[in-house]
Structure 1
Amino acid sequence: MSSYDSKPDAIFAEPLTQVSDFVFDQRVVEVFPDMINRSVPGYQSILHGIGQLTHRYAQANSNLYDLGCSLGAATMAMRQNLGDHNSVNIIAIDNSTAMVERCRLHLQGFRSAVPVEVRCADVRETSIEQASVVTMNFTLQFVPQEQRRDLLQRIYDGLRPGGALLLAEKFKSEDAAMDEVLIELHHEFKRANGYSELEISQKRAAIENVMRIDSLETHQQRLADVGFTSTQVWFQCYNFAALIAVKD
């Protein structure tokens, strides 16, 4: 099996006597591409959009950040849309050693004039400097809610004028009835992709303590609070959305 292949995700296929909190360990690394494509509606469309928006907003002699890079899918989408734009540097960061090691292997398979530095670090402790594009692709939802504003403030402060934050998140509706509709539509999506009721239930139990989701309104207000005056949802499918926020 090459570093680009993914095993089928069967982590929660058998009954567990105790469901532990979800962690991005070696087991998850081995199945992550299959897991995320079968679990996140529109994931490939979001990656395509990240590439397009990176091409539009990347500035010469700047840094581009992928915060919470996992296996590097967003990093590669950014890199592939920069052509031979060798005056930028991509910095990809994740706090999972297993993810970082596999990410480095993935990136080695793609030749590009754009340099990428992959760091094993906590995004909450990362300095954002001279940035023109910062991507957080389903990352902020794993940061403790009380620390999200501070992280976004540091991103805003580290962006150049005209720079963009690309934020994708699972969200909840502030309308309880509509939230249930979105949750059920997502579960139907997972069933259609071959997940059993047991897998859906056990995965939900494993992740509920480590992934606290906000409403879209909360995200938009928080972005405004840190200084962004221009934000837009550019993709939504069920209870998953991608936003762009541009610094004046």
Structure 2
Amino acid sequence: MNQKDAIYSQPKTKVNDFCFDEAVAQVFPDMIQRSVPGYSTIIDNIGLIAQRYAQTNTNLYDLGCSLGAASLAMRRSVKQQNCQIIAVDNSQAMVEKCQLHLNAFKSDIPVNVICDDILDTKIENASVVVLNFTMQFIPPAHRASLIKKIYDGMKPGGVLILSEKIRHENELANELVIDLHHEFKRNNGYSELEISQKRSAIENVMLIDSVQEHQTRLAKTGFKNFVMWFCCFNFTSMLVTK
């Protein structure tokens, strides 16, 4: 049974930087559903997109897999033969629970769950790569090289699915979607204290780009056919192909 997220429900003398530790792993399903609008829709459609683009005898990567929701969606949907899912996260707590979740679903598609820094993970023979709310936690100086590594390790016709919290270039628009997101969290039971302390916790570790910055980086690498297929407030999911 999923635990309720109450990590920031009590006043803290010092709000430490957010990290994916054991406490977060315990409440992550509740946290993500109450914090990210459309998360279930994104996960379901990652499965459908992977079903469309997966190629026989290739690897499907879930980079920054957390508890494995995207991996599970791909495992349920992909029908191509001899595919393997490689799920990677640098949090041992997340990896352990991810493995348990994936073990509970029987499938012909094997999943290799790895505890590693995705900046060090080798990408090869890939037809699908998923970065589901992962890039925003990568240091900005390393984002272009990560995208280049993914591109170089991808088969022609492969797809990269990139979900991110985004920053709008227009300041008024940015303030509007932030306010709407906070209202979304209030409607899901988070208090003003929780919203404030969580915002303080992530401000130094979640460094977000605009859609234009993502699109420019992807295009410079060689990716094409940019599609923003989901957007709600300041959350989006995009795809590009090689």
d(CA) in 2 for partners of 1:6, 1:167: 26
SS in 2 for 1:124: coil
Amino acid at match of 2:210: S
Instruction: Return the TM-score normalized by structure 1.
Output: 0.97
Partner of 2:49: 53
Partner of 1:166: 161
Amino acid at match of 1:153: K
What's the offset of the Cα at 1:86?
4.0
State yes or no: 1:41 paired with 2:30: no
Q: 1:188-227 counterparts in 2 under 5 A?
A: 188-227=183-222
Aligned mate of 1:181, from 176, 189, 202: 176
Aligned mate of 2:66, from 59, 63, 70: 70
What's the offset of the Cα at 1:229?
2.1
Amino acid at match of 2:5: D
Partner of 1:81: 77
d(CA) in 2 for partners of 1:138, 1:121: 17
Runs of 4+ in 1 over 4 A off after TM superposition: none
SS in 2 for 1:90: strand
Matched-pair contact (CA < 8 Å) for 1:86–1:115: no
What's the offset of the Cα at 1:6?
1.2
State yes or no: 1:30 paired with 2:34: no
Q: Which runs of 5+ in 2 are unaligned?
A: none
Amino acid at match of 2:48: Q
SS in 2 for 1:59: coil
TM-superposition CA deviations, 1:17-61 (whole Å, max 9, x none) = 000000100000110000000000000000011010000000000
CA RMSD of aligned residues (A): 0.6
Matched-pair contact (CA < 8 Å) for 1:231–1:244: yes
State yes or no: 1:10 paired with 2:6: yes
Aligned mate of 1:101, from 96, 101, 108: 96
State yes or no: 1:120 paired with 2:79: no
Q: 1:136-175 counterparts in 2 under 5 A?
A: 136-175=131-170
TM-superposition CA deviations, 1:95-145 (whole Å, max 9, x none) = 000000010011110000000000000000111100000000000000001
Instruction: Return the TM-score normalized by structure 2.
Output: 0.99
Matched-pair contact (CA < 8 Å) for 1:234–1:243: yes
SS in 1 for 2:119: helix
TM-superposition CA deviations, 1:154-179 (whole Å, max 9, x none) = 00111100000000000010001110
Aligned length: 242
Amino acid at match of 1:134: V
What's the offset of the Cα at 1:82?
1.5
d(CA) in 2 for partners of 1:227, 1:16: 46
d(CA) in 2 for partners of 1:86, 1:100: 26
d(CA) in 1 for partners of 2:78, 2:102: 15
d(CA) in 2 for partners of 1:229, 1:164: 10
d(CA) in 1 for partners of 2:70, 2:185: 22
Amino acid at match of 2:211: L
